[in-house]
Amino acid sequence: MTMDKNIGAEKAKLSELGRISDRITFLYIEHAKINRQDSAILVIDSQGTVAVPAAILSVLLLGPGVDVTHRAMELIGNSGLAVVWVGEHGVRHYAHGRALNHSSLLLEKQAKLVSNVRSRLAVARRMYQYRFPHEDVSRLTMQELRGKEGARVRKIYREQSRKNKVPWSRREYDPNDFEVGTPINKALTSAHQALYGLSYSVIVALGVSPGLGFIHTGHDLSFVYDFADLYKAEYSIPIAFEVTAQCTDEATISRQTRLAMRDAFRDGKLLKRMVHDLKDLLGVTLEAEEVDAETLSLWDDKLGMQKMGVQYHESTEKT
């Protein structure tokens, strides 16, 4: 059997793909079929068909009842579109796809920082400094920082409860049973999951490891939780309370929350801010576009980076 080489659009070059900071945040799909038409993914469900250019999306959240064709996944992979397979309401994370950035620059920087106690503590303090911009937290211990952050979050919950007239006692949810939660806890779970999805898309698009956290540890999404926590007070927490206050049908609170989060992300300012913040946290100022992602080098403990694809001869140098 022969294959027609002219089927579909030609694979885009990395330089032609949209920057992660310029893309739309996320698209959640459930109970639909995903196919491909040229450079767009086709979302087909009972209401009709919608074509979405793959290169303008950051992450696809695929919920229950989604069938994806091989041709659609080919386009998604070539476009650097992150794919996350999630459970109902986006509560569980099952798998994910390939990153946009093929350079290991940021990943190597992250691994170096997290592997040293002093540099890891410095990055963790910087993360807390983002949350306390008017205070100096550079000398606080991790225990002191956790206590300070806990007090800050509890205060935010109380303020949002009073502002939106939504009863609040504490944050509680069952990851195995979304429906047993109170309306506000359901909304918070959905809002946080949308924020995690966006955080994840930025992290992997820039070639950073989701699992190498500086504050959280021991989970394959530790850094996602680190990173998303920087923005909860500004996005997911207030939006969850606002949606709960306005919601008249608890059965739709998850969907309404996701839509509200999407609207908050729509202008793209958070995406650009996340890209900047992530590079700042890792101490990298080089633009990802300046890195030749197709360059593969050889490591040498004395000579530094060496060219790949060169026929090296045995050295006579005595060691």
Handedness of CA 201, 206, 211, 212 (dihedral sign): negative
Cβ-count burial of 138 within 10 angstroms (0-12 exposed, 13-18 middle, 19+ buried)? Answer: exposed
Q: At what angle are helices 105-114 and 117-131 packed, to 10 degrees?
A: 100
Sorted by sequence, the CB contacts under 8 Å of residue 117 that are 6+ apart come out as: none
Q: Which of 308, 274, 306, 305 is nearest to 288 (CA)?
A: 274
164: left (phi over 0), alpha (psi -120 to 50) or beta: alpha
Non-local CB neighbours of 46 within 8 Å, separated by 6+ positions: 31
Number of residues that make up the chain = 319
Paired tokens of 144: 């002191």
Q: Annotated binding residue at 30?
A: no
Q: How far apart are CA 79 and CA 316, in angstroms?
A: 46
Distances (CA, A) of 23 to 52, 172, 255: 12, 33, 22
Residue 149 is assigned to a ligand binding site: yes
Token reading at 105: 């620059």
Residue 216 annotated as lining a ligand binding site: yes
- Token reading at 242: 């606002």
Question: Which run of H or E residues covers position 101?
Answer: none
DSSP notation for 201-252: HHHHHTT--TT--SSS-SSTTHHHHHHHTTTTTTTHHHHHHHHHHH-S-GGG
- Residues making up the annotated binding site for Mn(2+) are 149, 216, 229
Binding-site members are 149, 216, 229
